Amino acid sequence: MKRLSMRRTLIACAVAVLATAGANLYAADEPAKVVPPGAPTMAAPAKAEALPKAETILDKALEAAGGKAAFEKLHNTVITGSMEMAAMGIKGTITITKAEPDKSLAEIDISGIGQVKEGYDGKVAWEMNPMQGARLKQGDELAATKREAHFHEENWREQYKKAETVGSDTVDGKDCYKLVLTPNEGSLITQYFDKKTGLLAKASQTVSTPMGEIQSDTTISDYRAEGGLLMAHKILQSAGGQDIGITFEAYKFNMDIPKGKFDLPDEIQALTKK
């Protein structure tokens, strides 16, 4: 239940690009072959697709979702929805509250298990769940939480020191550009943007958890208008051999957030003093 951010969060393979480049260099070093008169000739290979710059793709995605000016008018967001791990028969409800500049709280009530909470108050990243109790996040996990809590995602340049387009791929039948983003902190993120709509279709990355690092693949779909913006309503996350389906049912913007909503719980405050 990590990767709960609304649009893109999440997440790099230049192997295919490097392999292609290597093959081209190798071919260039080969001696020219003499073709006998009348011999059949091979058709020229199709010209490789010219890839747009990552900055262009990311800015297009922002415009496709509603435009930077519209996002800049937001000060907080409350998202409600549901989650399901069908293979394990687990269901629950989700409420995510985010506020500028960098505060977040995810509250997940799981039937038969209890409540899981994850939060960031601008300094401390934490989690509380019935299985592990209260804990603080450190290292890459802290960096990822801090990045996801950054409210104004339209200012993506503040979060990434490098972005490059590495190729094309298909996600659920959609032709997509494949980007690799290098955050200021933490591991690389691979993102796939629909060539037709410009919207984010998938994100992949290695996620740090208390059980170690796991590969997380998140597909994003069902974009619908919410307050003049296009927001994703369906998320499917595959991580650690499990699939988690998330449905976002409502987005509410610029709400009256209760005072103290992002304050650290007593159990977390006690950990910060150790």
> Which one-letter amino acid corresponds to residue 137?
K
Average pLDDT of the residues in 218-227: 96
What proportions of the chain, in percent to the nearest 5, are helix, strand and coil?
20, 45, 35
pLDDT higher than 80, residue 96: yes
Q: pLDDT value at position 105?
A: 97
Is 38 exposed, middle or buried, given 0-12, 13-18 or 19+ CB atoms closer than 10 A?
Answer: exposed
pLDDT higher than 90, residue 67: yes
pLDDT higher than 80, residue 258: yes
Q: pLDDT value at position 153?
A: 85
Q: pLDDT value at position 48?
A: 60
CA distance linking residue 260 with residue 253, whole number of Å: 18
pLDDT higher than 50, residue 269: yes
Q: Nearest 5°: phi and psi at 135?
A: -155, 155
Residues of the chain with pLDDT > 70, as a percent, come to 82
End-to-end CA distance of the chain: 27
Q: pLDDT value at position 195?
A: 98
What does CATH list as the number for 52-272?
A: 2.50.20.10
Structural contact between residues 13 and 192, judged by C-beta atoms closer than 8 angstroms? no
The region that residue 253 occupies, defined by phi over 0 for left and psi between -120 and 50 for alpha, beta otherwise, is beta
> In this predicted model, what pLDDT tens digit does every residue of 102-146 receive, in sequence order?
999 999 999 988 999 999 999 999 999 998 899 999 988 999 899
Average pLDDT of the residues in 46-66: 88
Lowest-confidence pick of 30-44, 139-153, 181-195, 203-217? 30-44
Alpha helix (H) ranges present in the chain?
A: 15-29, 54-65, 68-72, 139-149, 266-272
Q: What is the mean pLDDT of the chain?
A: 83
Average pLDDT of the residues in 214-230: 94
- Is the bond into 101 cis (omega within 30 degrees of 0)? yes
Q: pLDDT value at position 32?
A: 31
Average pLDDT of the residues in 265-273: 95
pLDDT band at residue 208 under the 50/70/90 scheme: confident
pLDDT higher than 70, residue 31: no
* pTM to 2 decimal places: 0.79
Q: pLDDT value at position 47?
A: 53
Lowest-confidence pick of 42-51, 78-87, 157-166, 208-217? 42-51
> Which position has the higher pLDDT, 45 or 122?
122
pLDDT higher than 60, residue 232: yes
> Which position has the higher pLDDT, 1 or 262?
262
Residues of the chain with pLDDT > 90, as a percent, come to 68
pLDDT band at residue 5 under the 50/70/90 scheme: very low
Name beta bridge partners: 229: 226
Q: pLDDT value at position 37?
A: 45
Tell me which H or E stretch contains 136: strand 133-136
């996620």: which residue's tokens? 207
